[in-house]
Amino acid sequence: MERLFRNPRKVMIQMGAAASASLSFMILGMVRAWSSPGMPSLINSKAIPLTESDVSWISSIPPLASLVGSLLAGPCLTYLGRRRTLMLISIPYSLGFLLIGFASHVSMLYIGRILDGAMIGFTAPSAQIFIGECASPRVRGALGAFTAIFLSLGILITYIIGAFVPWNVLAWILSAFPALLFVAMYFMPETPTWLLSKNREEEARKSLQFLRGVHTDVSVEFERLKANMAKGTNSQQIQPKELLKGSVIKPLLLSMALMLLQQFSGINSIIYFTVFIFQKAGSTLDKNLATIIVGIVQLLATIASMFLVDRAGRRILLLVSGVVMAISLAALGAFFYMVEIYGQDVQQSLGWLPLASLILFIIAYSSGFANVPFLIMGELFPAKFRSILGSLSSCFNLLCTFTIIRSFGDMNKTLGEYGTFWFYMSWCVVGVFFVYFFLPETKGKSFDEIERMFANKKKRQLYADEAETVAGTAAADRNDVVAVETVVRAPIEEKLSQPHSYGGHDLESEAEDNGEVVPTPL
């Protein structure tokens, strides 16, 4: 995170681009969190007759609907671009919330939730790929964490507003937020990678220059991007057999495994049933206050992870996150087991344990498994297949989300509360071993270096040859610059050695203030 502030002028535009795209995750958080304050308010108002099945489906249907959206996201990202896709999804997001707010029949609630859910499927690949392609390698990790921060912010905003207004007013208010996404993305450029994939080289260079700052030399990075695109996009038409290559399958399986481990930690079930856990703890806290506390803890922990993701690396964050989540879930399960065996005495003496375990779990999850799987998704995939693989991985994540939310009640009946939380704990343990033995570190690596990790020996040699060619070209360019400087350096240095003051400023300081490059002795 400190790298964002080491030279803020150079990364400020990249931060703006990341924040703009991450607004889509804020809206995603609002869709996800609406049911927590919204459904109890709707049930108590009796404005729309609902069955138990309606309540369950209205709460859990967005992840199911998002499967359709995630499948459509790939073609949209490929043909419309990352920026335009993020702009367009803001319209259905608003429409979905408005349908919920003006609902007079249960069918309108279903349609609104399905529409918002479908847009969730677009959000994850669109935002993460946009950020990954806009960010320079040294700050990509920190900027990639923006999505998780904005997701937590959206949840917290919904919890706070929902504590004071009824379900329909909450939906009306939330319908205004997608406009922020549309306006923010309107002022952002398309990613250089996508523009190069469409052979719009001059626009790609301008986009990269804008993102890196007007005084940054982007020639070497641009040549590297072109070389990387040339390897993967000689043919824009993707053949099905290409998706079966090891260099494509390996990163896809790694990403999907992380998505599975993320959701099978039980995070969405725990967030959705926060009130239930607090009630089991015998807490005297108001249910709305309890959810707000959870939202604040999640947001603060996610922000803290930004300071670690590029310093500690992806692997160590996931390892620590998995271990601490397993410990907290083990403690939570042990509490419910002792309540079942010993009854109310344990609830009174250890009533603090579920609250402490839940807060510890949220901190651990937000610090690692909340954002790192999505960050890695934007890093692992080859440029040519990034859109389609991002859609497949996000689709799988959403399928896992729906499975976990829908199965929570049945698991409680079959395994008991303690068995359910120990089931989630076991998946956290599996996650620790998986990350340790199979996940490579991507910290600070360029897309080209990451692709090289999954290539076979023949391709690795090809990459090495191309890298040598690019390096040679860059060296030749630098030699040309040195030759020119040799001609002009002497008279310039002679002038600079004689301070000329105009209004109290010497020429060198004035040039630097104006952002001009002043030659300095070698």
At residue 325, the pLDDT reads: 96
Shared domain for 168 and 316, answered yes or no, is: yes
Q: What is the pLDDT of residue 83?
A: 93
Q: What is residue 221's predicted lDDT score, i.e. its pLDDT?
A: 81
* Together in a domain, 158 and 43: yes
| pLDDT over 60 (residue 275) | yes
pLDDT interval class at 285 (50, 70, 90):
low
pLDDT at 32 over 70: yes
Does one domain contain both 43 and 139? Answer: yes
Q: Is the pLDDT of residue 2 over 60?
A: no
DSSP letters along 79-110, please?
A: HT-HHHHHHHTHHHHHHHHHHHHT-SSHHHHH
DSSP string, 324-393: HHHHHHHHHHHHHHHHHHHTHHHHHHSTHHHHHHHHHHHHHHHHTTTTHHHHHHHHHS-GGGHHHHHHHH
Rounded mean pLDDT of 114-143? 86
Cβ atoms 134, 17 nearer than 8 A: yes
Tally of structural domains, the chain: 2
Of 438, 454, 470, the position where a domain reaches its end is: 454
Tell me if 234 is assigned to some domain. Answer: no
Identify the weakest region by mean pLDDT among 235-244, 273-282, 493-502. 493-502
Give me the pLDDT at residue 156, please: 92
If one compares 357 and 375, the residue with the highest pLDDT of the two is: 357
DSSP 286: -
Query: In terms of C-beta density within 10 A (0-12 exposed, 13-18 middle, 19 or more buried), how is residue 423 classed?
Result: middle
Give the confidence band of 8 by pLDDT, cuts at 50, 70, 90.
low
Pick from 428, 426, 461, 463: nearest CA to 448: 463
Residue 124 pLDDT > 70: yes
Q: Is the pLDDT of residue 488 over 50?
A: no
Domain boundary pick from 454, 479, 499: 454
Per the domain annotation, does 331 fall within a domain? Answer: yes
Q: Are residues 440 and 464 in the same domain?
A: no
273 and 287 within one domain: yes
Mean pLDDT score across all residues of the chain: 79
Quick one: 442 and 462 in the same domain? no
Q: Which domain holds residue 34?
A: 2-194+260-454
CA atoms within 13 A on the CB side of 326: 15
The answer to whether the CB of 25 falls within 8 A of the CB of 127 is yes
pLDDT in tens, 156-175: 999 999 989 999 999 999 99
In a domain, 222, yes or no: no
Same domain, 443 and 469: no
CB contact at 8 A, 281 and 355: yes
User: Which of 236-245, 350-359, 454-463 is the least confident region?
Assistant: 454-463
Q: Of 433, 454, 475, which marks where a domain is finished?
A: 454
Which pLDDT belongs to residue 94?
Answer: 96
Asked if the structure places residue 362 within a domain, the reply is yes
Residues 189-219 have pLDDT tens digits of: 999 988 988 888 889 889 888 888 887 877 8
496 and 401: one domain?
no
Q: How many CA atoms lie within 13 A of 519 on its CB side?
A: 19
**pLDDT tens, residue by residue, 372-411:** 887 787 777 877 777 778 778 877 888 898 888 878 878 8
Give the DSSP H or E segment for 506: strand 505-506
| Same domain flag for 498 and 403 | no
Mean pLDDT over residues 423-447, rounded? 88
Q: What is the CATH number of the domain that holds 178?
A: 1.20.1250.20
Whether 58 maps to a domain, the answer reads: yes
423 lies in the same domain as 489: no
Q: Report the pLDDT value the prediction gives residue 433, as an integer from 0 to 100.
A: 95
Is 208 domain-assigned? Answer: no
Do 424 and 463 share a domain, yes or no? no
More confident: 325 or 292:
325
Q: Is residue 238 part of a domain?
A: no
Q: Is 95 exposed, middle or buried (0-12, 13-18, 19+ CB in 10 A)?
A: middle
Q: Are residues 402 and 472 in the same domain?
A: no
pLDDT value of residue 219: 82
Within-domain flag for 136:
yes
